[in-house]
Amino acid sequence: MNTAASRKPASRRTLPRLDESLLTHMAPFEKLDKAQIRAILDHAVSRRYAAGTALFDEGAPADRFFMLLDGYVRVVRITPTGEQVTALHIPAGQLLGIAKALGRDTYPASAIAATDSIALSWPMRLWDSFVETYDGFSTASNKTVGQRVGEMNNRMVEMATQQVEQRVANALLRLINQTGRKVDDGIEIDFPMTRQDLSELTATTLHTVSRLLSKWEKQGLVQSKRKRITVTDPHALVVIGQT
């Protein structure tokens, strides 16, 4: 069982002042000029988070919002019985911890660094002024909320209507679409992904995920070793996910 209590304590270090030119390609900033980006960055704190540490915790006061500059973040929730459930994976270049956009004053889930990561954060009291002042920021935040809600709705439909094998196949396909990188043998999920992580993401047991991955490895569909999963035959997983 994975619980919040088993999580590593946060290891954070403030990083040097960032150059605004590094952020012009990211959605919240791409419509802004350098002077506007500089004004936004002057309010930000930039920190490095070691893999396994929390950017923020479920239920805590939502006093800051974040943008991931580098790495990957796993969004998790804790059930009433103490089980950890992975809800989303967030790649670099996206906003997170945007509780204010959801009308909340606490974080609805925890954000855990899946790899060593770097994130900017701002005081939540600045959210409304950023949205009102910067059109690109407002557009990006609205798009992010829509995408997250859509993804969660799709997950709920999958849980209600799909068999376990379909859910695991579709989860792997989502991960390679979002974070995959080409390697010699196929497309690798670009951050550590254990079988336990995959079981939490698909609301199934570790035994079931291990059995499926072992079967798919024998069939040449995936490779799984040292916390790394590579999809070697994406089309076959598409067929399984739709069957």
**Are both 102 and 201 inside the same structural domain?**
no
pLDDT of 6 reads 44
For residue 177, the tally of other CB atoms under 10 A from its CB is 10
Question: Last residue of some domain: 119, 154, 189?
Answer: 154
In the chain, the number of structural domains is 2
- Could you read off the pLDDT of 106-142 as tens digits, one per residue? 999 999 999 999 999 999 999 999 988 887 788 888 8
- Could you read off the pLDDT of 25-62 as tens digits, one per residue? 888 888 888 888 888 888 999 999 999 999 999 999 99
Domain of 116: which CATH number? 2.60.120.10
**Are both 123 and 231 inside the same structural domain?**
no
The C-alpha atoms of residue 38 and residue 7 are separated, in whole angstroms, by 35
Whether the pLDDT of residue 89 is over 50: the answer is yes
**Are both 126 and 168 inside the same structural domain?**
no
pLDDT of 206 reads 92
Give CA 53 to chain center in angstroms: 14
**Are both 170 and 225 inside the same structural domain?**
yes
pLDDT of 87 reads 80
pLDDT of 202 reads 87
pLDDT of 1 reads 43
User: What angle separates helix 135-161 from helix 164-179, to the nearest 10 degrees?
Assistant: 160
**Are both 103 and 218 inside the same structural domain?**
no
Domain enclosing residue 132, as ranges: 4-154
Q: What's the predicted TM-score (pTM) here?
A: 0.76
Of 198, 133, 139, 189, the residue nearest 165 (C-alpha) = 198
pLDDT of 7 reads 53
**Are both 166 and 147 inside the same structural domain?**
no
**Are both 120 and 143 inside the same structural domain?**
yes
Question: Last residue of some domain: 100, 124, 154?
Answer: 154
Domain of 185: which CATH number? 1.10.10.10
| Whole-number average pLDDT of the chain | 86
**Are both 125 and 233 inside the same structural domain?**
no
Question: Last residue of some domain: 136, 154, 172?
Answer: 154
Whether the pLDDT of residue 95 is over 80: the answer is yes
